[in-house]
Amino acid sequence: MICKNCGAKNNDSRLKCFHCNSVLNTNDSYIYEDSSSLKDFPDDISAELNGYNAEDEHKSIYSESDGFFVESLNNEDSSDEMYQDDAYGEAYDEYEDEIYPEENDSYEDEADEYEDEDYEDENYNSESLEDSEYEDYDEDLALDNDSEDALENSSISELSVDDEVEQHFKVYKKKKTSGLTVAIWILCLVFIIVAIFVGTFIYSYLNPEDTTYIPPVDNTVASLGITQPTIQKLTDEKGVEYVHVTFSGQIGDRVNLKCNNSYHTFISETLEIDLYLEDLFDIEYEFRESTVNANLNAYYVRDNKSYSYAASSFTMSVPEAELELLNPTQQTVKAYRDKFTLKLWTATDSVIYLNNNNISSALNGLGNLSYDITVEENSSTTYQLMVTQPYHTPKSAVFILTRDPLPVSLTIATSNASVISDNKITISGSTEEGAKITANLPTIGEIEKNELYNTFTAVLDLSGCKYGEIEVIITAESEKGFSSKSHVFLYWPDETKITKSSGKFTSTVATNPSKYKGSNFVLNSATVVKNVSANSFEAKVSLNGIDYPVIIENEFSSTTISVNSKYKIFAECTGTLKDGKPVFRAWYIYTAK
């Protein structure tokens, strides 16, 4: 039935429009193609309806949607005139009263009330439908597919769906979605298990040594026809302790050392191995005591099966980290400058901490470190130096830096370079009026002082000094007290004179160095082999295809020395070591081309 107010299509049984709630005109009945469908109406009404010419005033269009036939009216004006016919309406009312006697009014009231509630609950005010994800989806889809004009011009039809059936569809869809999720998770779990199994199989295939482990028992060694390994403690030429282990076995069998993850094959019935601390412990292991308990942790391997030894543990000595403190040389040292240079030597793989601050970046390739410390006037500061080294116990040193107050104004300066080759140096500066100036080195003549500007100039004699680093201390004294400041420089032979006067290094000098003590030589393409101490390193010089080892003392060279690098060295022969190696004191070192 078509609503005249909004044009919505309603079921024939409705008395009010489901869309706008307007009362439907009971005279608005459908016109069917087959007039036989009106056989149940009274004869007078059927005859009157059959006599109506629908082709002139009205045209019916049928459309099929979701299993229901919905009728659309194309000529609204002409149909309105037809349905407003008084004779037709009265005839239909009489027919309705006969079919629904006495209950027509009450039924209409109940139907109106039911339609109001049904319309409000199912179409606009239903919270369950508003919350439903499926109704939201339908509404969004309708808005996406139809424009506003299409919605206004299109007919509205009603499709009733049973509530229980609709709820069944919703529950079924949720269950289906939940089942798919569970299936996906199960497939993922199965995939992970299979991947673990395959990975374990591949690892076992590629590493047959780890196939079988038999715990140590009393008869393990005896059943294999071997004996327990013997362990002997020894010390190498550097004074480092190690253990010499002898294994017995059959040719072709192997020994697996878990401590360093190595395998050793028997080529005879005995196998001898030397083990140091680095073979028995990981590099991250921290040694805190001078001795440590070690375990052989060795396995006998035969036919890809491992048998552990029931060997007992043993003790190993742990050396202290290498540290040679060059400056300061005393526990308490007085500073006369704003900067104090800490100097030390240690192993190149050491880590150095100064008051818990890591200063290892100042360590060069030979283990020498030079680090400046700021010193405030009228201060006393304690510094703790700690060096850690792999497979060593930490080594510490404590020193105190002090600096006196400066009650008297004093500044010092010099026009000389940082390296002095002459036998004198000139120091100048300024002070307060009436202050007396003194120096820690002998002066050439008296110290000149300008009373107008309170400046001074001192010429110091260096002829009695040895080559090396020298610190000149200037003191200004008055009734206020005294203030001291210093200037550090390197007293060194002239570079030009050394390079021109140095002789050629020969095999004769290399084999009989004591004969040439005090003479200067040039060592071309000397390759650094290793560091020996804080201020020396070992190098080799090739002459006619023969390598001659030499020891180079290098205390003040500014060149950074690296192992396996080549250098051109001008040095003085100073003697030999006990093993006969010649010793040279380096004056100037250049990188070889």
Token digits of residue 176: 């289906």
pLDDT at 93: 47
- Indicate the SS3 state at residue 535: coil
Helix runs in 217-294, H state only: 220-224, 277-280
Mutual angle of helices 43-50 and 86-99, in 10-degree steps: 140
pLDDT at 112: 45
Q: How many domains does the chain have?
A: 5
Q: How far is residue 415's CA from residue 328's CA, in Å, rounded to a whole number?
A: 28
In a domain, 534, yes or no: yes
Q: What are phi and psi of 53, to 5 degrees?
A: -85, 95
In a domain, 425, yes or no: yes
- Assign residue 384 a region (left: φ > 0; alpha: ψ between -120 and 50; beta: otherwise): beta
* Full-model pTM: 0.57
* 438 and 574 housed in the same domain: no
Three-state SS string over 6-55 comes to CCEECCCCCCECCCCCCECCCCCCCCCCCHHHHCCCCHHHHHHHHCCCHH
The per-type count for the chain, helices as H runs and strands as E runs, is 13, 36
Give the type of residue at 457.
T
Residue range of the domain that includes 61: 8-157
* 29 and 107 housed in the same domain: yes
* 311 and 438 housed in the same domain: no
In a domain, 188, yes or no: no
CB 49 within 8 A of CB 38: yes
* 334 and 472 housed in the same domain: no
pLDDT at 318: 94
* 531 and 559 housed in the same domain: yes
Which CATH number goes with the domain that contains 351? Answer: 2.60.40.10
Q: What are phi and psi of 187, to 5 degrees?
A: -60, -40
Residue with the two structure tokens 């001659």: 548
Q: How far is residue 54's CA from residue 74's CA, in Å, rounded to a whole number?
A: 12
Residue with the two structure tokens 């002997």: 232
* 302 and 425 housed in the same domain: no
Buried b (16+ CB within 10 A) or exposed e, 474-512: bbbbbeeebbbbebebbbbbeeeebeeebeebeeebbee
Name, in order, each residue with C-beta under 8 angstroms of 535's C-beta and a sequence gap of 6 or more. 326, 345, 368, 553, 554, 555
* 308 and 342 housed in the same domain: no
Pick from 91, 115, 127, 147: nearest CA to 8: 115
- Assign residue 143 a region (left: φ > 0; alpha: ψ between -120 and 50; beta: otherwise): alpha
In a domain, 195, yes or no: no
* 47 and 113 housed in the same domain: yes
Listing DSSP states for 98-135 in one string gives HHSTTTHHHHHHHHHHHHHHHHIIIIIS-HHHHH-HHH
In a domain, 189, yes or no: no
Q: How far is residue 398's CA from residue 148's CA, in Å, rounded to a whole number?
A: 90
CA atoms within 13 A on the CB side of 446: 4
Pick from 303, 299, 343, 339: nearest CA to 325: 343
Which CATH number goes with the domain that contains 452? Answer: 2.60.40
Name, in order, each residue with C-beta under 8 angstroms of 113's C-beta and a sequence gap of 6 or more. none
Give the type of residue at 265.
T
- Assign residue 355 a region (left: φ > 0; alpha: ψ between -120 and 50; beta: otherwise): left
In a domain, 173, yes or no: no
Which of 157, 186, 204 is the endpoint of a domain?
157
* 100 and 42 housed in the same domain: yes
* 421 and 358 housed in the same domain: no
Pick from 529, 539, 531, 527: nearest CA to 322: 531
Which of 451, 471, 491 is the endpoint of a domain?
491
- Indicate the SS3 state at residue 499: helix
In a domain, 220, yes or no: yes
Q: How far is residue 334's CA from residue 316's CA, in Å, rounded to a whole number?
A: 42
Q: How far is residue 573's CA from residue 586's CA, in Å, rounded to a whole number?
A: 9
Q: How far is residue 1's CA from residue 157's CA, in Å, rounded to a whole number?
A: 10
* 49 and 147 housed in the same domain: yes
pLDDT at 539: 94
* 43 and 107 housed in the same domain: yes
Peptide bond into 328 cis (omega under 30): yes
In a domain, 417, yes or no: yes
Which of 286, 317, 348 is the endpoint of a domain?
317
CB 317 within 8 A of CB 233: no
Q: Which residues pair with 585 in a beta bridge?
A: 553, 572
Mean pLDDT for each consecutive 10-residue tract of the chain (593 residues)? 78 76 60 40 43 41 37 39 42 45 43 42 39 42 41 42 44 56 86 82 56 55 85 89 93 89 92 92 89 89 87 88 92 94 92 96 87 95 96 96 95 83 92 93 92 92 91 94 93 92 92 91 92 86 92 84 91 86 93 84
Which CATH number goes with the domain that contains 531? Answer: 2.40.50.140
